[in-house]
Structure 1
Amino acid sequence: MALFVKNLQAVDGLISNLYKGISADEMTKKVTEVMEQQGYQVTNDQFGNLILEKGSRIKRLLLGAFVIYFKFSVTMAPGVNNELTINIFQQSSGMSGGLIGMNQIKTELARLNFLFSNI
């Protein structure tokens, strides 16, 4: 059963998707499972709020674009008619990797948009 309904917004640093027929708890478990398979460390801050982190920030600062570091936050907001809105925010700019690092972040955000649209 496809849970994804539509992409509400996709701009620099933000993705907003609409899902139907799933609770925030179930979606939190599903997102955690999928993102851990992608190599992300998932931290559950509060109900429906996740921090996704991949790589080492210290190594990124020291070695620049040669080291991968991504950090995103995920928030979930229940809506009417059993709908759930998920927002994915970019938390690292990639500036420590220069222009290459900034492009890596944009590419990863586009990949996450595709990944979340297939949940």
Structure 2
Amino acid sequence: MPHFVKNLQTVDGLISNLYQDVSIAEMTEQIKQLFEQQGYKVTDQQFGNLLLEHGNRVMRILFGAFVKYYKFSVTMVQSAENELTVNVFQQSSGMSGGLIGMKQIKTELTRLNFLFSNI
């Protein structure tokens, strides 16, 4: 059963979604499973904070837009009304891939918005 309620905000480099009837631990596990299937390396930094990384940063710098590299951070905040706010922040600008790389990051952020709305 999807826990997604609504998208609170989507701006350049930020997605904020609202979920209900799910704890931070459950959401962390669902995000890890989903994004590991998508080829992301998921690092659990602290309780409720994740780092999603896809690709190789050094190769991106060397070969530009020919190599994909994405880095996003996820923060989760539980409210008293059994609701969970999940924020996804863009951590890499794509500048090392030039204009094409910047476009790739925006496209990936749009794709992530869709994935997070299906959790």
Both structures adopt the same fold (TM-score exceeding 0.5): yes
Structure 1 unaligned spans of 5+: none
- How many angstroms does 1:8 deviate by? 0.2
- How many angstroms does 1:64 deviate by? 0.1
Determine the C-alpha separation between the residues in 2 that align with 1:72 and 1:81: 27
Instruction: Specify the alignment match of 2:9 in structure 1.
Output: 9
Structure 2 unaligned spans of 5+: none
- How many angstroms does 1:80 deviate by? 2.3
- Asked if 1:53 corresponds to 2:53, the answer is yes
Instruction: Specify the alignment match of 1:66 in structure 2.
Output: 66
Determine the C-alpha separation between the residues in 2 that align with 1:35 and 1:89: 15
Determine the C-alpha separation between the residues in 2 that align with 1:91 and 1:70: 8
1:54-81 CA distance string (max 9 Å, x none): 0000000000000000000000000121
- Asked if 1:96 corresponds to 2:96, the answer is yes
Determine the C-alpha separation between the residues in 2 that align with 1:67 and 1:2: 33
- Asked if 1:34 corresponds to 2:34, the answer is yes
Aligned residues: 119
Q: Secondary structure at the match of 1:54?
A: strand
Determine the C-alpha separation between the residues in 2 that align with 1:26 and 1:2: 12
Runs of 4+ in structure 1 deviating by more than 3 angstroms, as ranges, are none
- How many angstroms does 1:92 deviate by? 0.1
104-113 vs 78-87, greater mean Cα deviation: 78-87
Using the size of structure 2 for normalisation, the TM-score is 0.99
Determine the C-alpha separation between the residues in 2 that align with 1:80 and 1:18: 13
Alignment RMSD, CA only?
0.4
- Supply the AA of the counterpart residue of 2:23: S
